[in-house]
Amino acid sequence: MHAHLFIADPVLLVDKNDGFISLSILLSTYATQMSPTFLFVIYQLIILLQAIRLNMVLTDFRMYQSTNYTTAMTYILLTGIVSQWCSISAALISNSLVLWIFILLSRLYNNQSPRTLLFNIGMLVSLTIIAYHPTAILIMVVLFALAVVRPFRPVEWILLLMGVLLPYYFLSAYLFLNDQLITIKQYLPIFQLHYPFVHPDIWFWISIGYLMAALIAGIFYWQKFNNRMVIQIRKNWAVMMVLLLILVVAPFLFIGAGMDTAILSLIPLTAFVANAYSYPKRLLFPNLLFWLAVVIIVHNNWGLIKK
């Protein structure tokens, strides 16, 4: 999927204004002077570990009717569909935190200590926002999940919001004590509607069209089996759907965000697209879907090599 990295040097996409992850990389002399070989290994490890972790989580939650590694394969496959996803970016690293948040949200149903869990979810969301600002949109996801998974209890909502605010409270106190409170703006997301596509060509729209077609196919097969699942699993899928619908618009809402930010939607996108590979009884459609992806990836890789 990323054979071009044996020839072309891996790209490190960071912006000092998009959060602590990028800022830490830019301030680290060692990180900015890494050899291409080391960056290649790091990139492969990140997507491989994320793919395996996602596969294990969805299997443990019994969100599919069979146990296999199709989800991990789908995740790695989709990372090659968009050229900007073939790079090390703050958004790619943040995907690990997005998956962690989904894991905690999936444990809300029938949890014996929901208040502690909700506070932890709030803190994790806040720390994720500090790490990468476009993830601020995750606040909408956790609020929806709480509304769907738990009966309405004001105390639980207050605890969730307290968890979100606490890291910023300590951050503000630290900056105030060091007479740097004016720099708090660099830790806050900046909303700005904009068009994230820069000089898109026909192959870019083919890639987007493939993702949309694969997603529609995955949702079609998911709906066929959704009614057979128990309530908890259906609620997990509902959270995953909202995660997809909200994260997919992140590149349009934050200043400096681009198609590299869109990789935040890769976790829910993979969860649904994997249905199109797993559920068809005849292998013709999954094979067609797979080889279409390979054609697009080969073309994208060739384009990256020529650059």
Residues of the domain holding 132: 3-306
pLDDT of residue 190: 84
Inform me whether the pLDDT recorded for 227 exceeds 80: no
- Nearest in space to 277 (alpha carbons), one of 44, 119, 11, 75: 75
Q: Which pair of tokens denotes residue 155?
A: 């105390």
Inform me whether the pLDDT recorded for 305 exceeds 70: no
pLDDT digits (tens, 9 = 90+) for 118-161: 999 999 999 999 999 999 999 999 998 888 888 888 998 999 99
What residue type is 305 in one-letter code? I
| Cα dist from 120 to 107, 110, 153, whole Å | 12, 17, 17
**222 or 9, greater pLDDT:** 222
Total domains present in the chain: 1
**C-alpha–C-alpha distance, residues 40 and 36, integer Å:** 6
Confidence of residue 54 (pLDDT cuts 50, 70, 90): very high
pLDDT of residue 109: 81
Report the helix count and the strand count for the chain, using DSSP H and E.
13, 2
In the predicted model, what is the mean pLDDT of residues 186-198? 83
Q: How many CA atoms lie within 13 A of 61 on its CB side?
A: 25
What is the three-class DSSP state of 191? strand
pLDDT of residue 306: 63
Confidence of residue 278 (pLDDT cuts 50, 70, 90): confident
As to burial, measured by CB atoms within 10 angstroms (0-12 exposed, 13-18 middle, 19+ buried), residue 192 is exposed
User: Which residues, in sequence order, are CB contacts of 179 under 8 Å at separation 6+?
Assistant: none
Please give the mean pLDDT across all residues of the chain. Answer: 86
Q: What angle do CA 12, 295, 7 make, to 5 degrees?
A: 40
CA dihedral 141→87→69→233, nearest 10 degrees, is 0
Region of poorest pLDDT, from 2-6, 50-54, 189-193 = 2-6
Asked if 141 contacts 104 with a C-beta cutoff of 8 angstroms, the reply is: no
What residue type is 38 in one-letter code? F
End-to-end, the C-alpha distance of the chain in Å comes to 18
In the predicted model, what is the mean pLDDT of residues 105-115? 83
Confidence of residue 265 (pLDDT cuts 50, 70, 90): very high
In the predicted model, what is the mean pLDDT of residues 211-216? 93
Inform me whether the pLDDT recorded for 266 exceeds 90: yes
